[in-house]
Amino acid sequence: MSGKPRLFMTRKVFDEVIDRLREKFEVEVWDRYQPPPYEVLLEEALKSDALYTLLTDKIDCSLLEKASPRLRIVAQMAVGYDNIDVECATKYGVYVTNTPGVLTDAVAELTWALILAVTKRIVEADVFVRWGEWKRLETGWHPMMMLGVELKGKTLGILGMGRIGKRVAEIGKAFGMKIIYHSRKRKEDVEKELGAEYRSLEDLLKESDILSIHVPLSPETKHLIGEKELRMMKPTAILINTARGPVVDTEALVKALREGWIAGAGLDVFEEEPLDPNHPLTAFKNVVLAPHIGSATKETRMKMAMMAAENLIAFSEGKVPPNLVNKDVVKIRPPGFED
């Protein structure tokens, strides 16, 4: 290839990261706060050798098929890659990379922020003070005021015992909780380390006081938690989702909250993002909402941005990128931009 390969970045990230990428690529950055519309993404993909993407960019088979004669790699700045048709990418010899591990602590901490916010009624309490209800009631301290839920001795259920699920479980252990989990495979290391116990999905739903979801979004996990599953939960249970919105059937969740099948929810992810402020979920006092900020710490976002860049740089040097998702792609095309 004569000259540097062209890289299209679908959003601006840290200057240090872009400068590092400029050493190896001709970099074009989509500079707006909103994601590029699909037509723009397609137009840019057609004239690029590499894409730097976010989870809001739809990289479907039609785009990959059209762009793949030139496009060689899609480097996602996220651990989840359900926005990318990975099977199709492999078929057309396009490498797909992600950013696992560096965001585990940030997401686990945010998960715990939601667990604590719901069980200790933190958002409600803030509004109570801020909007004068506390003052209006003239009750400095009342034995029955704003009673929440204690965590020690309760059962924390982890759905998806991977990197984030394990870290959430470790913190739960420090709170004195019993840990149960469901995953596709049993995790003997976690069972040994944390005394965590494996459960079928049904038993996990029935026994958990806090059910925290950490599975990736896939055809198998879409609406994994629907009406049937929510009806199995305890009426005192709290559902936490920091994985992907479509893992939970939103309509069923709204019904569950309205009819008291469960006691509350903490949600960082939604079937439709951004969530409409008039969505029924915004009407519940026992639901705490966040705008998909699981990995949103300065430290983590910098690590994610640099990791995505390093995957691109390794590929440009003819190396298999360290965080390759579709391992079989190496059989279709070797790494690098040379033909």
Query: What is the distance between the alpha carbons of residues 38 and 99, in angstroms, rounded to a whole number?
Result: 23
- Enclosing H/E stretch for 104: helix 104-119
Integer Cα distance of 286 and 166 in angstroms: 26
Annotated active-site residue in 292, 299, 310, 333: 292
Is 167 annotated as catalytic?
Answer: no
From 78, 106, 194, 325, residue interacting with ligand GLV (rule: CB under 6 A): 78
When asked if residue 338 is in the footprint of ligand NAP (CB under 6 A), the reply is no
The amino acid sitting at 228 is: K
Q: Choose among ligand NAP, ligand GLV, none what residue 55 binds, the Cβ cut-off being 5 to 8 Å by kind.
A: ligand GLV
User: Should residue 93 be labelled a site residue for ligand NAP when binding is judged by CB under 6 A?
Assistant: no
Confirm or reject binding of residue 242 to ligand NAP (CB under 6 A).
yes
Helix axes 104-119, 122-130, angle to 10 degrees: 60
- End-to-end Cα, the chain, rounded Å: 8
Told to check if 103 binds ligand GLV by CB under 6 A, we report yes
Look up 292 and say whether it is catalytic: yes
* DSSP-derived 3-state class of residue 48: coil
* Cβ neighbours of residue 242 closer than 8 Å, sequence gap 6 or more: 107, 110, 111, 114, 164, 212, 213, 214, 268, 269, 294
- The one catalytic residue in 182, 244, 301, 310 is 244
Question: Contact between 295 and ligand GLV (CB under 6 A)?
Answer: yes
Following CA atoms 44, 298, 271, 109 in sequence, which dihedral angle do they give, to the nearest 10 degrees? Answer: 150
Decide if 124 is catalytic.
no
**Contact mark string toward ligand NAP, 257..296, x via CB under 6 A:** -----------xx----------------------x-xx-
C-beta of 86 vs 180, nearer to ligand GLV? 86
Q: Which residues are catalytic?
A: 244, 273, 292
In the complex, the residues that contact ligand NAP under the rule CB under 6 A are: 79-80, 100, 103, 107, 160-165, 182-185, 214-217, 220-221, 242-244, 268-269, 292, 294-295
In the complex, the residues that contact ligand GLV under the rule CB under 6 A are: 55, 78-80, 103, 294-295
